[in-house]
Chain A
Amino acid sequence: MKGIINAKNLNLWYGETQALKNINIEIPEKSITALIGPSGCGKSTFLKILNRMNDLIPIVKIKGDIYYNGKDIFEKSIDVNSLRRDIGMVFQKPNPFPMSIYDNIAYGPRIHGIKGKQRLDEIVENSLKDAAIWDEVKDRLKKNALGLSGGQQQRLCIARALAVKPKVILMDEPTSALDPISTSKIEELSLKLKDKYTIIIVTHNMQQAVRISDNTAFFLLGELIEFGKTEEIFSNPLDKRTENYITGRFG
């Protein structure tokens, strides 16, 4: 398997505080990579940098490189909007737009110039089916998305991300605000999606990392301590700090 995302000597500062320290990682394609570590260790920061959501924060300074499919994403010639179309994102708190379910899903395709009711209908249906929420919402597509339950909203957000046909989906603790049933639905969904997409998921739930991920990266205080096959990280960690963390000795 070849790496679709490749970080080289990546450093990031918020003003004076360094949040990422010399990160080197190669993320394999069409698999699930879990990012774990105590809170404040830079997981979200690393995730957001991959589709340059940090651009929205003016105080951020970056040194180092990230390659997506071999292309440097910080290069001037990169179109951020196309990058974000390729690398979609699902946030910690479900954030559907305050509009109809249909319009939520059609939002992405529309901004990328897809027109015509028939095509949009098709995309909406397929995305909702892929996100395993079609049966629950097919009769209320014109209803406001904010009327859905939290778990449904999160699957809607996944569908919304799928609708622009991304290659990579970034998920930042997508189940931390959800009940166990919704959580397991999203886990099943992720396992189904990894045939077609590369998924990078931040989680503070170690069982979740074990259940769904192929590879796990352990972050601590802005450093990438260890990265490898999930079974190995959890059964046979190389670093003492990883072991301490996964056995619940801190964090």
Chain B
Amino acid sequence: MNLKLTFKRKLYIFLMKVAMIFSTVFTVALIAFLLFYVLAQGIRNINFELLTTKPSYLLGKIGILPDILNTIYIIIATLIIVLPLGVGAAIYLTEYAQNKKIVKTIEFASETLAGIPSIIYGLVGMLFFCQFLKLGTSIIAGALTLSIMNLPTIMRTTEESLKTVPQSFREGAFGLGAGKWRVIRTVVLPNCLDGVITGCILTVGRILGETAALLFTAGFAHALNGIITGLVSPGATLSVALYVYAKEQGEFEIAFAIAAILMILTLIINLVATLISKFFKLRSSI
């Protein structure tokens, strides 16, 4: 009887092992294939001219400089809007709000908000920012939409890191006669910079990948603009440009080039995020 059980058990363990190895290999292979395929297709189409010119129908050439700039503009604008809002809300919720029920409700709402499909943000953004506020299809309308989308992210990462600031720092500062806001400004916030930065990096990552919300709100123009004109004009980000070139113009070489660029950027962002969190860990352990 004992022997039989052991055999069953052995078989079970063996099968589980096989299943686990299979799923691991399958996942890794899938990711490797995707990476390799996109990079192989994309990198050979990336060249200096592509990166530094705008598209010209006359010359029959495509350049993605406007899309690169638009991406940068929209990242800057979104961060400028969302950072004070998100960090401010997080400070209020963790440091000031007395009613814990309301805090919990807001946290729940923001988590729900974070799970809503981005196309819905696009639709609402178009109706509210583009039409109701008369901003038209523009980078700034896109940035505002992205701000709402990313507000929960910034808020949550900041909140989480505010909670990790040791209570003893606050006590030390209060004990010296510091007022609340000063304690927050001088002792609490500097110690949760890593959370804010993590939130920013996640936000940048999401902006890089976002298309649905931007198709509605920022449009897909490829005009070369400075930042001020750029903000109030329609413009495609890299991801939107990828969609447009692939779907509407059949320019798959360009699309893959953009895809490769986006992939490399994502990789860099992840590396930077890891490095930054390592840096902060190191610094706090001195």
Contact = CB atoms under 8 A, between A and B. Distances in A.
B176 A85 contact: yes
Nearest to A58: B98
Contacts of B115: none
A95 B168 contact: yes
A150 B105 CA distance: 41
B60 interface: no
A60 interface: no
Interface residues of B, number: 21
A104 to B, nearest CB: 9
Interface in A131-169: 144, 146-147, 157, 160-161, 164
Given A111-B182, A147-B286, A95 B166 contact: yes
Given A107-B186, A111-B182, A98 B175 contact: no
A171 to B, nearest CB: 11
Given A95-B166, A98-B191, A56 B171 contact: yes
Nearest to B182: A111
A241 B285 CA distance: 45
A88 B286 contact: no
Given A91-B168, A91-B172, A157-B172, A81 B98 contact: no
B210 to A, nearest CB: 36
A84 interface: yes
A97 B284 contact: no
A88 B178 contact: no
A107 B173 contact: yes
Interface in B101-140: none
Contacts of A81: 177-179
B22 interface: no
Given A53-B171, A56-B171, A98 B176 contact: no
B105 to A, nearest CB: 18
Given A56-B171, A95-B171, A84 B176 contact: yes
B177 A112 contact: yes
Nearest to A111: B178
B263 interface: no
Contacts of B190: 98-99
Interface string A10-52: 0000000000000000000000000000000000000000010
A89 to B, nearest CB: 4
Kindly state the interface size class of chain A when it binds its partner: 20 to 34
- Determine chain B's interface SS by DSSP, over half rule: helix
Contact of A95 (B172, B186, B191): B172
A89 B186 contact: no
Interface in A75-114: 80-85, 88-89, 91, 93, 95-99, 107-108, 111-112
Contacts of B168: 91, 93, 95
Interface string B164-196: 001011111111111100100011001100000
Contact of A53 (B174, B178, B191, B284): B174
A88 B176 contact: yes
A98 B191 CA distance: 8
A132 B171 CA distance: 23
B172 A146 contact: no
A146 B286 contact: yes
Contact of A111 (B169, B176, B191): B176
A108 B171 contact: no
A182 B219 CA distance: 67
Given A51-B175, A53-B171, A82-B177, 11 more contacts: A56-B170, A56-B171, A81-B178, A91-B171, A91-B172, A96-B172, A97-B169, A98-B190, A107-B176, A147-B286, A164-B177
Interface of A: 51, 53, 56, 58, 80-85, 88-89, 91, 93, 95-99, 107-108, 111-112, 144, 146-147, 157, 160-161, 164
24 contacts: A56-B170, A56-B174, A58-B98, A82-B177, A84-B175, A84-B177, A85-B176, A89-B175, A91-B175, A93-B168, A95-B168, A95-B171, A95-B172, A96-B172, A97-B173, A97-B187, A107-B176, A107-B178, A107-B186, A108-B178, A111-B177, A111-B182, A146-B286, A164-B176
